[in-house]
Structure 1
Amino acid sequence: MLRTSTTSSLRLLQTLRQPACRRIFPNICFGPSLICPSPKYISQTRTFVSSFIRRNEEQPPESSKIEKRENIYTIPNILTASRILACPILAWSILDGNYHLATGLLVYAGLTDWVDGYLARRYNMSSVLGTILDPAADKALMTTLTVTLAMQNLIPTPLAVIIIGRDVLLSLTAFYLRYSTLPHPKTFSRYWDFSLPSAEVRPTQISKVNTALQLLLMGVTTVSPILPISIQTPLVGLQLLVASTTIWSGMSYVFSKDTVRVIASSRKKGDNIP
């Protein structure tokens, strides 16, 4: 009977020395001088310890519960960023009257816009940041062209106010959506960490048409000073059309329910924030 109790005690000590049990009993030293308890007590203790170890192994460690991140350093995103970086050069070329350089930059912007869209679809390089960065590049290009061409008296000032006013309102709305959908903690660094997607903006159909018409108007207006003939009459008609679609597209974002998809809400319950 004594040998059986001693053997059971030694097995119990080996179990209690496991890391999971040591976290429960950090201040207890399990040495060889432990008095041998009764077999019933040993059995109850072993059952408790085994149950605890099993529950501890089933639960994933806290470090594994991290937020989903995505790769933002893709070729489409780099091309889109290059269009944004080209905007200051485009502005300088228009204000300096160098419309040949401005036309070349517009061609570059159009080609990179097509290439990054093709790569994102063909090689599955799409990202949530891309859905934000691509329209942001279009708006940066549009704002640059609108301001500089208006300063050169190539487009009417009221049309420039309509285009820029719509973009400013949409930009402020986007900043608010980013803040409201970002999971806690809402820190400054996490707000600008676009590898943590929180919401995706989906452009409406009229918005796509309006963007195409705006780019067409700005492109034709930029090229018009170097053309051998005057196209002022067609430009006036295109300006009125763009003014109408700009207002229409702005209202579509206000009244449409499918323009924003919140990604953070789809996070599994219980996931922790790093």
Structure 2
Amino acid sequence: MQSVLGTILDPAADKTLMTTLTITLAMKDMLPVPLAVIILGRDVLLSLAAFYIRYTSLPQPKTFSRYWDFSIPSAEVHPTYISKVNTFLQLALMGTTTISPVLPLDLTASLTGFQWVVAGTTIWSGLSYVFSKGAVRVLSETRKPKSP
């Protein structure tokens, strides 16, 4: 089943998990602060863009209650392929980093390489929303969104 609220809550839950893991691992010196800044910065910028797009695409009248009424769709956001890959790689990095202290192997070199890959895909993912034509689509006031 798919709903407008579900399309908002699912990514929000992913971002909450990623934010918590990123901050916690950076505070424990298990994740480099510059990488944490890249991950969190991308998410903050995408969130601000989402708020802006919601406001500019919301049909008149633009009120606080209508802004938060998700039964009034105003735009569709479709995750890009690199964004899906990036989410997987970020979660894999966080999981590997979390368990690395209890593993009998020294993963320092591997984790450093993995961190560089995640930094690259995180930046690429953020830019993909800016430059991809199909990532964000503003809905017209007269047209209803497609039903699944």
The normalised TM-score by structure 2 is: 0.90
> Within the alignment, does 1:183 sit opposite 2:66 as a pair?
no
CA distance in 2, matches of 1:183, 1:190: 9
| 2:79 is aligned with 1:203 | yes
Residues 83-118 of structure 1: CA distance to partner in whole angstroms, max 9, x if unpaired? Answer: xxxxxxxxxxxxxxxxxxxxxxxxxxxxxxxxxxxx
Deviations 1:25-57 (A, max 9, x none): xxxxxxxxxxxxxxxxxxxxxxxxxxxxxxxxx
1:243 to 119, 129, 133: 119
Is this contact kept in 1: 2:129–2:136, CA < 8 A?
A: no
Secondary structure of 1:193's counterpart equals coil
Q: Tell me if structure 2 keeps the 8 A contact 1:181–1:198.
A: yes
SS in 2 for 1:265: coil
Q: In the alignment, which of 105, 109, 113 is matched to residue 229 of structure 1?
A: 105
Paired residue total: 144
Distance in 1, Cα, partners of 2:92 & 2:142:
39
Give % identity: 72
Superposed CA deviations along residues 199-248 of structure 1, whole A, max 9, x for unmatched, are 11101111111111001001111122232333222111110100011111
Instruction: Establish whether residue 257 from structure 1 lines up as the match of residue 133 from structure 2.
Output: yes
Q: Is the 8 A contact 2:38 2:122 kept in 1?
A: yes
Q: Which residue of 2 aligns with 1:192?
A: 68
| One-letter code aligned to 2:31 | I
- Unpaired segments ≥5 residues, structure 2: none
In the alignment, the residues of structure 1 paired with residue 54 and residue 30 of structure 2 have an alpha-carbon distance, to the nearest angstrom, of: 36
The answer to whether residue 42 in structure 2 is matched with residue 145 in structure 1 is no
The structure with more radius of gyration: 1
Return the offset for 1:190: 1.2
* Post-superposition offset of 1:249: 0.8
Structure 1 residue 155, shift from structure 2 partner: 0.5
Unaligned runs of 5+ in 1: 1-124, 269-274
| One-letter amino acid of the structure 2 residue matched with residue 256 of structure 1 | S
Distance 1:196 1:155 in 2: 40
Relative to structure 1, the CA distance from residue 266 to residue 221 in structure 2 (aligned partners, 3 Å threshold; closer, same or farther) is: farther
Backbone CA RMSD of aligned residues: 1.5
Aligned mates of 2:79, 2:124 — CA distance in 1? 13
Amino acid at match of 2:125: S
Whether 1:159 and 2:8 are equivalent positions in the alignment is: no
Tell me how far apart the structure 2 counterparts of residues 226 and 266 of structure 1 sit (CA, whole Å): 57
Calculate the TM-score normalised by the size of structure 1. 0.50
